[in-house]
Structure 1
Amino acid sequence: MTRELIYVAVFAALIIALAAVFRVVPGASRRRLRRSVLLFALHLVVVVITSALALSRFDELALGFSLAGELLRVLLMINLAALAVFDLLAPLTRWDFPDILHDLVVGAAYLVAAGWLMHKAGLNLTSIIATSAVVTAVIGLSLQATLGNIVGGLALQVDESFQEGDWLEFENKQQAQVKKVRWRHTVLETRDNDTLIVPNGQLMAQSIKVLGRRDGKPVPHRQWVYFCVDFRFSPADVISVVNQALIAAPITGVVADPGAHCICNDLARENRDGYILYAVRYWIDDLWRNDSTNSDVRERVYSSLKRADIPLAIPAAALFLEQEDSAKAERKLQRDVQSKLRTLDAVELFKSLDAEERRALAQTTRRTPFGRAEVITRQGAQANWLYVLAKGEVEVRVSTSEGDRRVAVLRAPSFFGEMALMTGQPREATVVALTEVECLRIDKADFQGILQRRPAIAERISEILAARRVELDAARGGLDGDEARSHRLSHENLRILNGIREFFGL
């Protein structure tokens, strides 16, 4: 009896110590610890019952409960040893083992312990094994599907066909992420945050694509976005326009290597489509974000094609009839000019122009849309045009030795790139679209005729540009005091005016 009490005390101490350690070990299985606590409770109950029966002179019953207590004690030892090895030592050595391995080791130890105890009790193991074989065959036939799932689970764990966290695609194109491989089934989560419970036997019976994994190692997964353009536009031009937009600025979720690019995927399929099929190929490393990344890529493709005046193809099954005459076309053109004129009227830079000059400018400007996160101008680039921000928001970034930093956020109506247009200087900052943006692009040729007719406008424009530069420098903290600001304003005004006269030949 004293020995049994010692066992109980030792087991209680070990369980309390393991429970304390489990509270600080990340990922430790409390379910397994609860199993040990349950075995300990059963062992304690059997010890108490055995003691009571022994005191009551029920020797045969006491012997039976004594054997049961010994079996529970051995099982509890096995469980505590498994906790120490698999839940404490394995994390310390960074050994990532499958759950089924733990269950197999513990189950085998249970069988060995049971056989040893039966042999110790004087039972004939040969006859028991022969009888068990017949019973096992009957049970195997009746539980064939269940056993098939269990064997499938063992195979999946042993050969590591896929691992927890992998994305799978089934024959029906359903995609899901592996969360847990259990004895009978595998737990999967879909993109809709639904949980799939798939029997392991079904997984073994079909072809499964493991996404984003090659030679057992994770690799970026390739995605496709398709679009169509009709035959009026050269594939080389379409591919060039889209590729320039793809590399101009990073797209969230798209990896840099391999780089995203556009290809001509097919001409008229089955001789019935009236357009060329293109595709953007790109790679992602976070499969949860594929929908939002696809959307960002489509937005980039759409805005780049629209800037290049390349429309997406109209479906071949659709037929549009519209009576077009010169009067209707003129009305449409005038509406567009009026819209551009309202934007120019709201910008301070053009207030020195009279109504006719602004209208002439509105007639020659062209609309240039940009998608969110696209680079509109890049610091150091040579480009002799100005952008008038008609819709949306942009941020102005400057690259320094300490890295890129934001210096301003512009909201419509506004303008940027004025120094490149008026003086021919390289871009002094990078401008990136924060939202979907529409700009009016004014080239040097559009402005040159106005300045040639009225050179005095250059003086007013230089004053506006000088004031804007001085305000920006003051906001950065580069100017202190009114006197320094006044001196800088005068200097910038003269420098810009001379630059305008030289660039436009005034």
Structure 2
Amino acid sequence: MSLFSLASFIFEVFSQVVIREFISNGAGGFILATVFGAIVIARIVPEKRKQLRGVVVPIFIYLCFILLAIVLELNEQVSYSDYARALATAFVSVSLINLGSLMLFDVILGGLHLKVPRLLRETTVILTYIIAVLVILSSRGVNVTGLLTTSAIISAVIGLSLQDTLGNIIAGFALEIEHVIKPGDWIKVEPYVGRVKEVRWRQTVIETRNWETVLVPNSQLMKSQVMIYGQRHGQPMQTRRWIYFNIDFRYTPNEVIGYVNDSLQANPIPNVADDPKIHAILMDFKDSYCTYAVRYWLTDLAADDPTDSNVRIRIYYALKRAEIPLSIPAHSVFVTELNNKREIRKHEQLMEQRLSAIRNVELLHSMTETELKELVEHLRYAPFARSEVITRQGAEAHWLYIITKGEVAVKVSVASMNGNGSSKSLAVEKEVSRLKAGDFFGEMSLMTGEPRAATVVALEEVECYRLDKEAFQSILTERPEIVKDISRIIARRRVELESVKKGLDKEAGKEQVEQTQVRILKSIKDLFGL
């Protein structure tokens, strides 16, 4: 064949493709419509761009088979040309079905925020493929009825050999229809606990807390007992957790439960539900101790161990402040030689340690060494965990805290102004100062009986000594003249705090110190009966 003849043949083939296929038969319009639909999907749902290959690649194969069919027709190979066109029709059907699937499930239903299960989507596409194949075969003169009869026999043979696989697929359909287990659910299928990632044809994918992926056959989910965590009709997703601890019989249950509940409910713990409230209960009596449990409802089911740890820390510090030790197993025996000299030495060391802690406290500067020694007998050790609220603004309490370790933040609730100029009380919490070892707080409530003027929060592990009203009673009764010095210090600190809350300048604050001191002095005398 000469070069001229080859060029003529190529031109004739190209003319046939352009004129007959793309203009007369409307294939060109179809291709343009498909390309336009792919562009729309790529713009609206960009994360589905990779799936557009299922639309574009079949179109390219379709063009190849059409070109092959034309070449065969020009060479008078009509029967082979029909086969090529049938294959071209099959691939164009694949492209149309994939494009329709993306448009329906991702663009239309996705725009309506309706999420179709993956298994249902794939089933719809496969059924559409089967229908398209049957239509193409029927249009080519194939006896579809006979084919279906033969396929039924073959399907029965395949079904017998693939019973487990078919069982998993049918179970997958049942799970999708009932919608009992869905992606995002936390389930327990012995021995695994994890979050459902997706439900596939043969198996359900579960991601565990240990960063493992477990594939559970769908038939096993249908046959086994499955526990779904955190689900109750009409309620938020949360699940109950238990934290156990033991206290010996020297301490009453009401005392233990009261201290623990006060600490746990004082301020929120991350991932712990507000309702029902976290609380402690008495669970059992053992040989030498009582078993208690703290029950709480976990809102983030993935954070079980970290939240358990935070709750245990709260329990530990609450018991430490109450001077209630965790029980020691009954079989543990400690033998210590006790004598009077040793006990006296230990007591003297403890008193000296406490004296060192309070000697530099400004509020107590007017007291003598003897009076300070009398005070230290009333000191109570009070540790706090990080982020724990030590005192809360507005609460009634008659304790003075002296910090020996750590740092705390002093916060006050300040009234804010709205657009109309009216105030909203306690709208904004503002940090006004930080206190460290050697500082003290709570003196106003202790000496006057007034509610707490600020909220104090531990910024780290904090150790304090706590003094109550009875510790001052005898000292102030014997030497009432020191009340004046104490009232002056309290007045100055109170005015400084009020200046921050109300935004007063220092000069205006100084003018209020004397007036405040007179009022505080009277309150102290009334409270202590002086």
Q: Considering the TM-score relative to the shorter chain, is it more than 0.5?
A: yes
| Deviations 1:293-352, CA, capped at 9 Å, x for gaps | 211221222222222222211134433333333333333323322222222134322233
Instruction: Between 1-10 and 64-73, report the one with greater CA deviation.
Output: 1-10
Q: CA deviation at 1:447?
A: 1.6
Letter in 1 for 2:355: L
- Matches of 2:322 and 2:66, distance apart in 1: 87
1:252 to 242, 259, 270: 270
Q: CA deviation at 1:219?
A: 3.5
- Matches of 2:67 and 2:161, distance apart in 1: 40
Matched, 1:445 2:470: yes
- Matches of 1:266 and 1:317, distance apart in 2: 19
- Matches of 1:383 and 1:445, distance apart in 2: 13
Q: What's the counterpart of residue 74 of structure 2?
A: 55
Matched, 1:177 2:211: no
The structure-2 alpha-carbon separation of the partners of 1:312 and 1:404, relative to structure 1 and needing over 3 Å to count, comes to farther
The structure-2 alpha-carbon separation of the partners of 1:460 and 1:63, relative to structure 1 and needing over 3 Å to count, comes to same
Q: What's the counterpart of residue 45 of structure 2?
A: 25
The structure-2 alpha-carbon separation of the partners of 1:363 and 1:205, relative to structure 1 and needing over 3 Å to count, comes to same
The structure-2 alpha-carbon separation of the partners of 1:410 and 1:106, relative to structure 1 and needing over 3 Å to count, comes to same
SS of residue matched to 1:40? helix
SS of residue matched to 2:394? coil
Instruction: Between 10-19 and 236-245, report the one with greater CA deviation.
Output: 10-19
The structure-2 alpha-carbon separation of the partners of 1:368 and 1:122, relative to structure 1 and needing over 3 Å to count, comes to same
Check conservation: 1:251, 1:373, Cα contact below 8 A.
Answer: no
- Matches of 1:317 and 1:481, distance apart in 2: 64
The structure-2 alpha-carbon separation of the partners of 1:249 and 1:481, relative to structure 1 and needing over 3 Å to count, comes to closer
Check conservation: 1:397, 1:404, Cα contact below 8 A.
Answer: no
| Deviations 1:110-131, CA, capped at 9 Å, x for gaps | 1111111111111122332233
- Structure 1 gaps of 5+ residues are none
Q: CA deviation at 1:423?
A: 2.1
2:283 to 265, 271, 275: 265
Q: What's the counterpart of residue 427 of structure 1?
A: 452
Check conservation: 2:41, 2:102, Cα contact below 8 A.
Answer: no
Check conservation: 2:245, 2:293, Cα contact below 8 A.
Answer: yes
Q: CA deviation at 1:292?
A: 1.9
Q: What's the counterpart of residue 37 of structure 1?
A: 56
Q: What's the counterpart of residue 193 of structure 1?
A: 211
Instruction: Between 443-452 and 453-462, report the one with greater CA deviation.
Output: 453-462
2:437 to 384, 401, 412: 412
- Matches of 2:220 and 2:276, distance apart in 1: 35
Q: What's the counterpart of residue 341 of structure 2?
A: 327
- Matches of 1:308 and 1:481, distance apart in 2: 40
Q: What's the counterpart of residue 454 of structure 1?
A: 479
Instruction: Between 216-225 and 338-347, report the one with greater CA deviation.
Output: 216-225
Q: What's the counterpart of residue 418 of structure 2?
A: none
Check conservation: 1:8, 1:44, Cα contact below 8 A.
Answer: no
- TM-score (norm. length: structure 2): 0.86
Q: What's the counterpart of residue 120 of structure 1?
A: 139
Matched, 1:293 2:293: no
Aligned residues: CA RMSD: 2.5
Q: What's the counterpart of residue 522 of structure 2?
A: 498
- Matches of 2:333 and 2:68, distance apart in 1: 90
Q: CA deviation at 1:477?
A: 6.0
Instruction: Between 341-350 and 103-112, report the one with greater CA deviation.
Output: 341-350
Q: CA deviation at 1:215?
A: 4.4
Pairs within 5 Å for 1:385-396: 385-396=399-410
Q: Which has the larger radius of gyration?
A: 2
Q: What's the counterpart of residue 232 of structure 1?
A: 250
How many equivalent pairs are there? 499
Check conservation: 1:220, 1:283, Cα contact below 8 A.
Answer: yes
The structure-2 alpha-carbon separation of the partners of 1:171 and 1:337, relative to structure 1 and needing over 3 Å to count, comes to same
- Matches of 1:56 and 1:320, distance apart in 2: 106
Name the % identity: 42
| Deviations 1:138-157, CA, capped at 9 Å, x for gaps | 33344333333322322222
Check conservation: 1:395, 1:408, Cα contact below 8 A.
Answer: yes
Q: What's the counterpart of residue 7 of structure 2?
A: none
The structure-2 alpha-carbon separation of the partners of 1:236 and 1:493, relative to structure 1 and needing over 3 Å to count, comes to closer
- Matches of 1:206 and 1:83, distance apart in 2: 36
Q: CA deviation at 1:404?
A: 4.3
Q: What's the counterpart of residue 487 of structure 1?
A: 511
1:14 to 34, 57, 60: 34
Instruction: Between 282-291 and 141-150, report the one with greater CA deviation.
Output: 141-150
Instruction: Between 411-420 and 421-430, report the one with greater CA deviation.
Output: 421-430
Q: What's the counterpart of residue 467 of structure 1?
A: 492
- Matches of 1:206 and 1:177, distance apart in 2: 17
Q: What's the counterpart of residue 396 of structure 2?
A: 382
